[in-house]
Structure 1
Amino acid sequence: MSDAVLLLAHGTPNTLGEMAEYLDKVTGGRAVPAEVVEELQHRYALIGLRETAGAEPPPLTKWTLAQGQLLGRLFFDNGLKTKVYVAMRNWHPYIADVVAQMRQDGVTRFRAICLAPQNSRTSVGLYRKATLAAAEGMEVEFVAGWAEHPLLIEAFAEKLRTVWKVACDELGKRVPVLFTAHSVPTRTVTGDAPDPYPIEAKRTAALVAECMKAAGLGEQDWRFAFQSQGVSGGPWIGPTVEETLGVLREEGHRGVVIQPVGFLCDHVEILYDIDIAFRQIADEMGLKLWRAESLNDSPLLTRALAELALGPYTAGVEVAPISARV
């Protein structure tokens, strides 16, 4: 077993004034137009980010740290000494800084788990590169993707069941479910070495839908779309959520339940893109929009992370439950 587990997340600024510096990290130093910085400051302000740091960190940081704490507590409760660390690629605490702390703590080998279940060169690949660079000389096992993990699927289904029943009861009929994941540039998934991301994202959605069959969700009751396309850098993959909402309205639907399956906790792509922007678009179309709660501190998610941490793990292969290992 590894000495430690490192959970990796995207990172988010703590204040509005840090937005330009944050975006510089995200883009790898490519210039970001001032209007884009201002628009993102506006969006983050709408979900609670302020000019000065508040008593509580922004949602992504808050929930990622909580996921690390819950995993550590699960290990402790089961008599395991494996320590859990959390690091961000684009903001504090940076991967390099956390790995340096791990060295000081005497960690010589660890398992890194990216809190983005679907593997992509634009996300997981960059986390892996940063982690291996920081951990030179240490033994690292990197979990590159876990889009089909049974506990992840059940965690999403658990959140979806509740809101889907509410929506169906309110409208008196089965309401379509729209699964989403973050879009990526089209160039990422084309070429000689296609990226697995869109396939894995759709596979996660299909497995959640399969899990929902017992609740009454049929094959025709769900769709998939990519959300949060970038504002620059060429075309991004679709279909978009906006396009799909229009199709659903044309088909005569009066409501939709959105469940983002590419995200594990609340952050701007959920709290703004879905809860504010998509809800406004849906309202203008005459659609009522519901959203499944994010996994955040889901016990099922914690158990999934524990199984990934205890290895050995190969993408697509279920790991023995924690109860069978302690």
Structure 2
Amino acid sequence: MSSLKPYDAVLLLSFGGPEAPDEVMPFLENVTRGRGIPRERLEEVEVHYQHFGGRSPINDENRLLLANLREQLDLAGVGDVPVYWGNRNWAPFTTDVLREAHEAGARRVLTVVTSAYPSYSGCRQYREDLAEALITLSREGRSLRIDKIRHYFDQDGFLQPIADSVAAALQSLPDGSRVVFVTHSIPDVMDDASGPLGNAYTQTHREACAAVAERVGTVPEWDLVYCSRSGPPSQPWLEPDIGDHLAELKAKGVPGVVVVPIGFVSDHMEVVFDLDTEAEEIAQGLDLPFVRAATSGRAPAFAASLARLVVERAAAERGENPQRPSEAGAGAWHDVCPATCCTNLRNPDKPAACGVDWVLPIDKSAEASAAPVGEAAR
């Protein structure tokens, strides 16, 4: 029988997405608030969502992942610990869910973020939202401590389902077809600041790609490319873009492609629109055979890996020395983020929970506890 002590709740924390046409623009405004994105750009992106009836697939994917994670925690012997689901940008919102957990008796929560890689948008921004929620709840007299599991791009349950899908896709394509791994583009400067030493976003993606290729075995050449760029043309973002790369491969005589959304846990809008719609249309126009590999989020093995990391972190917090398996890169990532990890380039002093430097700010205008919450400095 495993234990999750000292944790008394688990939070599955994700990005969120609209589920009806009239929710799309308010959702996009939440996502981009404070970033000066022109209204015209939001309207362009809104069309992507309306292409699918105004409903993003992400919430349904998270409902399934939530059920799978609960099942795997039960199989691990810790099914009595409640598992909550919250989002950064749409209901159920993080603060509301943590308030619900507190009212149910939770005082220490372990978070599972649906982003496998280090970067500002994939890690620190979630930590900032957790800090904001903790500050809000503290002003209400509610004290919570929150930690998060380590990055899981290197876990078997993330890598193997992708490798299985790639191997199956290659069977349907001509010999010599290329494997094209795809992830969300980010500004070059964000990659430069990712991880404690920089460039961790691209480095860990390449490590995951190499691990998948090795598992496939006789995999042909592979590339790592990007999708969903949204910044101004004057700002350098990670390249090449998937559409441009498909044209280059066709010009080189590549007979087919397996497009692999390695950067996404599940079928987000970037997958179903940027890849399944736009990229596939480009491939069809080029007469380039195209198969999109599956994401790993629906696989029971993926939820099993997350459950193992939850149990691992709890054991570490109890002072035990759990095994920390890693199937890609140089070894397991840190549990607690260093102060210099994935810097917020716009506001480097913004509080972020689950880091070595996190303590709850003292609110002198409210009767809030000054005791550290979240991941206290060690």
Is residue 2:203 matched to residue 1:199? yes
Gaps of 5+ in 2: 136-142, 317-322, 327-378
Which AA in structure 1 matches 2:15? H
In 2, Cα distance between equivalents of 1:139 and 1:187: 31
Matched, 1:41 2:46: yes
Match of 2:213 among 200, 209, 216: 209
Verify: 1:284 aligned to 2:289, yes or no: no
Cα distance in 2 for partners of 1:28, 1:72 equals: 33
Report the CA distance between 1:131 and its aligned residue: 1.4
Query: Could you tell me how far apart the structure 2 residues matched to 1:195 and 1:108 are?
Result: 35
Identify the match of residue 74 of structure 2 among 73, 76, 94: 76
Contact 2:176–2:254 under 8 Å retained in 1: no
The DSSP-based 3-state class of the residue aligned with 2:125 is helix
Contact 1:279 1:289 in 2 (8 A): yes
Query: What amino acid is the match of 2:313?
Result: P
**1:115 corresponds to:** 114
Distance 1:195-1:222 versus aligned 2 partners, 3 A rule: closer
Residue in 2 that maps onto 1:222: 222
Instruction: Name the CA distance, whole Å, in 2 between partners of 1:132 and 1:18.
Output: 26
Secondary structure in 1 matching 2:121: coil
Number of residue pairs the alignment of both structures matches: 303
> Residue 270 of structure 2 corresponds to which residue in structure 1?
269
Shift of 1:195: 4.5
Matched, 1:8 2:13: yes
The CA deviation at 1:78 is: 4.3
- How far is 1:176 from its partner? 0.8
Are the aligned partners of 2:8 and 2:107 in contact in 1 as well (CA < 8 Å)? yes
- 1:265–1:294 Cα contact (<8 Å) kept: yes
Q: Which whole-Å CA distance do the structure 1 matches of 2:149 and 2:71 have between them?
A: 21
Q: Does 1:157 align with 2:156?
A: no
Find runs of 4+ consecutive structure 1 residues off by over 6 angstroms.
none
Letter in 2 for 1:60: I
Structure 2 residue matching 1:116: 3-state secondary structure: coil
CA–CA distance in 1 between the matches of 2:232 and 2:286?
A: 27
The runs of 5 or more residues in structure 1 that have no matched partner are 51-57, 320-326
Deviation for aligned residue 1:140: 2.0
CA-to-aligned-CA distance 1:281-325 (integer Å, 9 cap, x gap)? 1122221211012224211111111112112289x9318xxxxxx
TM-score scaled by length of structure 2 = 0.75
- Aligned-residue offset at 1:246: 2.2
For the 8 Å contact 1:16–1:41, the answer to whether it is kept is no
Distance in structure 1 (CA, Å) of the matches to 2:232 and 2:29: 14
Which of residues 291, 305, 318 is equivalent to 2:325? 318
Task: Map 1:59-74 to 2 at 5 A.
Answer: 59-74=57-72
Q: Contact conserved, 2:66 with 2:85, CA < 8 A, in 1? A: yes
Instruction: Summarize deviations over 1:62-106 as a string: whole Å, max 9, x none.
Output: 011110111112223444212211111111111111111111111
Name 2:147's counterpart in structure 1.
141
Aligned residues: CA RMSD:
2.2
Normalising by structure 1, we get a TM-score of 0.86
> For residues 24-55 of structure 1, what are the alpha-carbon distances to aligned partners after superposition, in whole Å with 9 as ceiling and x for unaligned?
221233344333232222211223326xxxxx
Partner residue in 1 for 2:246: 245
CA displacement 1:154-186 (0-9 Å, x = unmatched): 12112222222222xxx2x13111011111112
Q: In 2, are the aligned partners of 1:124 and 1:144 still within 8 Å (CA)?
A: no
- Percentage identity across aligned positions? 25
Asked if structure 2 preserves the Cα contact closer than 8 Å seen for 1:119 and 1:144, the reply is: no
